[in-house]
Chains A and B, each alone.
Chain A
Amino acid sequence: MSLLEGLRFSRGTSPIHNLDPRVKFFMTVVLFAAAIMFLNLIPLLVILLVQVPLVVVGKIQREWAKTLKGGVFLAVIIFATNLLSFYFFRGRHLTSEMLEFALSLTLRFLVLITSFSIFFLTTSPDKLSLALEKARVPYEFNFAFITAIRFVPVLADEAQSIIDAQRSRGLELERGNFLARIRKYIPILLPLIINSIRRSLELAEAMESRAFGAAAKRTNLYELKMNRRDYAVLAVSALALTAALYIRFFTPPLGPVLPPFSIV
C-alpha cells in the first residue's frame, strides 16, 4: 500500500503547494505526456531531472521516497518481464539496446508515479475541489468528494475499534481456511455498515442545520486566482510541451529504435 502513500496530501507550504491547482494539473499532464512520448533513456532521464527539483522545492522528498520504495517491486517486475519478452519475442538474444528499452520502460514508470506524487502530495483536497468547481462539476459531487476524504480517518478509527471489540470476544481473523476467514469478516463489516447508515442520517441533519442548499448561488471562502508565478509556470509548461512534441516528431530519434517484433 505504500505505493499509494504518494497520493496522500501532506499539509505544508511551498511554492509548489501554492500553485494554482489548474496550473499544477497542466504541469503534471505535460510531464506525463512527455514521459509517454519517449522511450529512450536520455529524454526520460531529462524529465526525471526536471522532476527532482520540483520534489525538493515542494518539500515532499520523504513521501516521494516512500512512494518509490513502494514502487520498487513493480519496477523490478516491469524490468524483468520486458527483458524476458524482448528475449523471447525479438530474436532470442539480448542486445544492449534491449537492455536500454527495458530500463527506459522502468524509468518511465518511475517518472509517471513521480508526476502523480507531485500533484497529489502538494494539492489539498479543498483546492482540488475548487478547481473542480471552476470546471463546472456540480457542487453536490464536489461535496461528496470532500466528505468522502473527510471521513476516511473517522472510518479507519471506527474499523479499528470494531476489530478490537470483536477480537476481545474471541474472534480469530487469522484462523481457518479461506472461506471461513471471509465469514469472519461479517462481525466486522456489519457494525461498520450499520454505523455508517446511522452516521449518514446524523450528517444529513447537521447539513440541514448548516443551511446546505439554501442559496441558489453558493459562495466560497477560498477563491482561485492566478498570480504571476502561476502564469509563468503555465508558460514554461506549454513551452516544454511544444519542445517535447517538436523533438519527438520533427527530429531524428534520440537513440536506438525497437527491433522488429518476431517470434522465432
Chain B
Amino acid sequence: MGIVEIRGLWYSYPNAPAPALRGLDLTVEAGEFVLLTGPSGCGKTTFCRCLNGLIPHFYNGELKGEVEVAGLSTRDHPTTELARHVGLIFQNPDNQIFALTVEKDVAFGLENLGVEKEEMLKAVDWAMSATGISDLRDRATHELSGGQKQRLAIASILAMRPKVLVLDEPTSFLDPVGAEQIFEVLNALNKEHGMTIILIEHRLDLAVRYADRVIVFAQGEIIDDGPPTEVFTAEETRLAGVGVPKIVALSNRLARRGITLEGPPLTADRFVEEIEKQLPKAGTPTPEKRAPPGLAELTGEHRGNPIIEVHDISYTYPRGVEALRGVSLTIHRGEFVAIMGENGAGKTTLVKHFNGLLKPQKGRVVVDGVDVSQVSVASLARKVGLVFQNPDDQLFSENVEEEIRFALRNFGFEREVIEKRVDWALNLLDIGRYRRSSPFILSGGERKRVALASVLAWDPEVVVLDEPTIGQDYAQKERLRHFLMQLRTQGKTTIIVTHDVEFVAECGPRIILMADGGIIADGPTERIMTDMDALKRASVSPPEITKVFSRLSRHGFPPDIIDVEEAAEVLHRRLREVTA
C-alpha cells in the first residue's frame, strides 16, 4: 500500500456551483518525488488541503471518497494529528511564520504537540541543518529574505518529522536563485532521507529534473500521470494548457523532424550529451551562419526620443539599505525593456523613481523633459503608469468598472471621456463580462488583469509592470506575452521588472541587468542572455536553450540562440548533414 492512497475523491466547497475535485484515484509510494501541475483553478490547492485533513476538518463542504495518508484516514484524524505524518507548506512564506526568531518558529509545531525539551532541541537542530538555515538560528524572522523565509517554513514543518511533504507553489514569491535552493533542499530530503515529496509548481523548467513522476490536473481531474518525459510529450498535457519545459519542447520538436534523442533528456546537460553522441567524433565544425536578426534588434531602428533619462542616481532607504548606487540609463519612446536581477538588486526601487514615488537622493531623473523632483507623483503618474505585483494591494471598489474609473477621476477626465476609456480598457484586457462584478470574487489572474486595465485606462505614455508573471500559470503568461507584443506594436514604451528568464527570452526586449544597486549589463536579448559572466554576476540563470547552445558552441554552433523553434532548426540542419 502507498503512503498516500486516494480512492474516488470528490469535493465541493460550500455554496460552490461545481465540484473542485472530480473523482480522483491516486497512489503515491513512499519515497517518490511527485511534481503536480496544471492551470490555475484546476484544484491543486484543494487537493493539498485534502491531504492533511484541512478538508474536511477546517473546510466544510461535501466530501466523497477516501483519503489515507500513512495509513490514517483523514476523515477520522484531525489536521493537528495528521501534522506528524504529512506536512503542508504554503505559497506565501510570511503567512506561515509565527515566532519572532528562527529557532522558536521551528519549534512551534513541537511545542504544540507537547514534545519534551531535549527531543525538541534535537529535532530543531536537524530540521535547520536539513534546510541549510542553521546559521540563521537567532535571527529575527522578519529580517529574512523571501527564500530564507520559505526554507524556514519547510524547516518548521520538518521538525515535526512528517513522512510526506506537500508544497503548494512554494517558490512563487522567490527569485530563481531562491527557488533553486528550495528545490535542492527538497531533492536532498528525498534522496538522503527518503522523504515523500509532493510538489505543486508552475516553474517546470527548474523543477522537472528532480521529479520521478509528474501528475497533470485539469478541472479537478487527473488527466495525465507518469514519468516526466512521457507526460510532457503527451497530447493531453499540451491540450490542458500546461507549459512544457523548454528542453522537453526542444526534444519534441526534433522528434517531429525525425531526430530522436534517448531519454528524452530533461536537463540542458543531458540534452547536450545526447546531441554530442550524434555528432561525428572528430569532424571539423562548419561555422554556422547566424540567423537573420530578430525583432529585438530591429526595434532598435525605430527608437524615438528619450522619454526617461536617469542620471547617476543613488537611493538609500531610511533603515540604511543602499538600494541604488549611481545608476544611469536612458529609455527611448517606444522601447520595450526588461529590468532583471535577483530580489534586492534594486529593480523596484529604480522604477519607483520613474513616476516620482521616490525622489532621487543624488542625481537626476528626467521624464519627458521634466525633472521628477520638481513635480507631484500624480502629474508624473499621468505619463508613467506603474502596475504593481500584487493586485490585492490596489483593488478596493465595489465593481470592476468603478475600479477602472478611480484613476480617471483622480486625473480629472470628463465624464464622457471616462466612460469611453472604461469601455476601451475593459475590451483591451477582455474583462468586459466582469464589469459589474466585484473584483474580489475574481480569480488571481483576472484580478491582475483588472489592475492592469485600471492603469492602462488613462493611456499613459510609459507602462511599467512590476513582476507581471509571478504566480501566473502558462496560459496566463502566454496571454500576457501577447498583450505585451500588442503594446509594443502600438509603439507604447513598456518596461517590465522580472526575474522570469524564460518569459523574457520569449519576449525579446532590451534587457537591463541589475545587481547590488547598479546596472551591470544593458543590451538586446540575444546579447545579454548569452553573456554568461554578466548573468552570473546578476544571479540570473540563463534560459535553458541558451545553456544548451553555450555548451554546444565548441562544436561550431552559434552560442546566441534562445528561441526553441530556431534551436530545433539549427540542430536539425546540422544533424541531417551528419547523417547524410
Complex interface bits, B382-405 against A, C-beta within 8 A gives 1, otherwise 0 = 100110101011111000000000
Using CB atoms, name the residue of chain A closest to B96: A206
Asked, given contacts A207-B98, A210-B83, A212-B112, whether A165 binds B120 with beta carbons under 8 Å apart, the answer is: no
Q: Check B112 against A211 for contact (C-beta < 8 Å).
A: yes
A204 to B54, CA, bound (A): 10
A187 to B121, CA, bound (A): 46
Using CB atoms, name the residue of chain B closest to A11: B140
CB within 8 Å of B: which of A151-172? 153-154, 158, 161-162, 164-172
CB within 8 Å of A: which of B57-100? 57-58, 79-81, 83-84, 87-88, 90, 92, 94-100
Q: Check A214 against B411 for contact (C-beta < 8 Å).
A: no
CB within 8 Å of A: which of B396-432? 396, 406-407, 410-411
Q: Check A214 against B83 for contact (C-beta < 8 Å).
A: yes
Chain A residue numbers with a CB within 8 Å of B440 are 194
Interface membership of A150, Cβ < 8 A: yes
For B54, give its contact among A168, A205, A214 (CB under 8 Å): A205
Interface membership of B574, Cβ < 8 A: no
- Considering only CB atoms and an 8 Å cut-off, how many residues of chain B contact the other chain? 69
Complex interface bits, A196-240 against B, C-beta within 8 A gives 1, otherwise 0 = 001100111111111111111111111100000000000000000
Complex interface bits, A18-53 against B, C-beta within 8 A gives 1, otherwise 0 = 000000000000000000000000000000000000
Interface membership of A2, Cβ < 8 A: no
What is the distance, in angstroms, from A24's C-beta to the closest C-beta of chain B?
A: 18
Q: Taking each of B54, B98, B355, B454, which has the highest tally of chain A beta carbons within 10 Å of its own beta carbon?
A: B98
Using CB atoms, name the residue of chain A closest to B139: A11
Q: Check B58 against A146 for contact (C-beta < 8 Å).
A: no
Chain A contact residues, majority secondary structure: helix
Q: Check B396 against A186 for contact (C-beta < 8 Å).
A: yes
Chain B residue numbers with a CB within 8 Å of A165 are 386, 388, 393-394
A191 to B103, CA, bound (A): 32
Chain B residue numbers with a CB within 8 Å of A216 are 114
Interface membership of A149, Cβ < 8 A: yes
Q: Check A215 against B112 for contact (C-beta < 8 Å).
A: yes
Q: Check A210 against B393 for contact (C-beta < 8 Å).
A: no
Q: Check A158 against B393 for contact (C-beta < 8 Å).
A: yes
Chain A residue numbers with a CB within 8 Å of B110 are 219, 221
Q: Check A221 against B107 for contact (C-beta < 8 Å).
A: yes
What is the distance, in angstroms, from B394's C-beta to the closest C-beta of chain A?
A: 4
Interface membership of B235, Cβ < 8 A: no
A158 to B406, CA, bound (A): 21
For A162, give its contact among B54, B113, B141, B394 (CB under 8 Å): B394
Using CB atoms, name the residue of chain B closest to A217: B114
Chain A residue numbers with a CB within 8 Å of B98 are 143, 146-147, 150, 206-207, 210
Q: Check A215 against B381 for contact (C-beta < 8 Å).
A: no
Interface membership of B124, Cβ < 8 A: yes
Q: Check A146 against B99 for contact (C-beta < 8 Å).
A: yes
Complex interface bits, B126-145 against A, C-beta within 8 A gives 1, otherwise 0 = 00000000000000111000
Q: Taking each of B58, B101, B111, B124, which has the highest tally of chain A beta carbons within 10 Å of its own beta carbon?
A: B111
Q: Check A218 against B378 for contact (C-beta < 8 Å).
A: no
What is the distance, in angstroms, from A82's C-beta to the closest C-beta of chain B?
A: 36
A11 to B139, CA, bound (A): 9
Q: Taking each of B83, B112, B114, which has the highest tally of chain A beta carbons within 10 Å of its own beta carbon?
A: B112
Using CB atoms, name the residue of chain A closest to B356: A167
Interface membership of A195, Cβ < 8 A: yes
Interface membership of B52, Cβ < 8 A: yes
What is the distance, in angstroms, from A169's C-beta to the closest C-beta of chain B?
A: 4
Q: Check A214 against B81 for contact (C-beta < 8 Å).
A: yes
Q: Check A209 against B54 for contact (C-beta < 8 Å).
A: yes
What is the distance, in angstroms, from A2's C-beta to the closest C-beta of chain B?
A: 13
What is the distance, in angstroms, from A152's C-beta to the closest C-beta of chain B?
A: 8
Interface membership of B455, Cβ < 8 A: yes
Interface membership of A125, Cβ < 8 A: yes
Interface membership of B172, Cβ < 8 A: no
What is the distance, in angstroms, from A140's C-beta to the closest C-beta of chain B?
A: 12
Interface membership of B109, Cβ < 8 A: yes
Using CB atoms, name the residue of chain B closest to A158: B393
Q: Check B396 against A220 for contact (C-beta < 8 Å).
A: no
Interface membership of B570, Cβ < 8 A: no
Using CB atoms, name the residue of chain A closest to B409: A170
What is the distance, in angstroms, from B256's C-beta to the closest C-beta of chain A?
A: 44
Interface membership of B116, Cβ < 8 A: yes
Asked, given contacts A209-B88, A217-B114, whether A167 binds B377 with beta carbons under 8 Å apart, the answer is: yes
Chain A residue numbers with a CB within 8 Å of B455 are 168-169
Chain A residue numbers with a CB within 8 Å of B40 are none
Q: Check A215 against B113 for contact (C-beta < 8 Å).
A: yes
Asked, given contacts A191-B396, A204-B58, A209-B157, whether A214 binds B80 with beta carbons under 8 Å apart, the answer is: yes
For B407, give its contact among A162, A170, A195 (CB under 8 Å): A170
Chain B residue numbers with a CB within 8 Å of A154 are 94, 142
Interface membership of B275, Cβ < 8 A: no
CB within 8 Å of A: which of B429-467? 440, 454-455, 458
Complex interface bits, B525-564 against A, C-beta within 8 A gives 1, otherwise 0 = 0000000000000000000000000000000000000000
Asked, given contacts A168-B357, A169-B455, whether A221 binds B124 with beta carbons under 8 Å apart, the answer is: yes
Q: Check B392 against A169 for contact (C-beta < 8 Å).
A: no
Using CB atoms, name the residue of chain A closest to B460: A168
A212 to B80, CA, bound (A): 7
Chain B residue numbers with a CB within 8 Å of A166 are 394
Q: Check B357 against A169 for contact (C-beta < 8 Å).
A: no
Asked, given contacts A124-B100, A146-B98, A191-B393, whether A169 binds B454 with beta carbons under 8 Å apart, the answer is: yes
Q: Check A161 against B390 for contact (C-beta < 8 Å).
A: yes
Q: Check B104 against A126 for contact (C-beta < 8 Å).
A: yes
Q: Taking each of B81, B141, B381, which has the highest tally of chain A beta carbons within 10 Å of its own beta carbon?
A: B381
A sample of 24 cross-chain residue pairs with beta-carbon separation below 8 angstroms, ordered by A number, consists of A125-B100, A146-B98, A147-B98, A150-B99, A150-B100, A164-B357, A164-B388, A167-B357, A168-B357, A170-B378, A170-B381, A170-B382, A170-B410, A171-B410, A172-B410, A205-B54, A208-B52, A210-B112, A211-B79, A213-B112, A218-B114, A219-B110, A221-B103, A221-B124
Cβ-closest 7 pairs across A and B: A215-B114, A170-B410, A190-B396, A214-B80, A206-B96, A165-B394, A169-B407
Identify 9 new A-B residue pairs, CB closer than 8 A, beyond the known A170-B458, A194-B440, A210-B160: A124-B101, A162-B393, A164-B386, A167-B381, A168-B357, A169-B407, A210-B98, A219-B110, A220-B117
**Chain A residues in contact with chain B, CB under 8 A?**
11, 124-126, 143, 146-147, 149-150, 153-154, 158, 161-162, 164-172, 186-187, 190-191, 194-195, 198-199, 202-223
**Chain B residues in contact with chain A, CB under 8 A?**
49, 52, 54, 57-58, 79-81, 83-84, 87-88, 90, 92, 94-101, 103-104, 107-117, 120-121, 124, 140-142, 156-157, 160, 352, 355, 357, 376-378, 381-382, 385-386, 388, 390, 392-396, 406-407, 410-411, 440, 454-455, 458
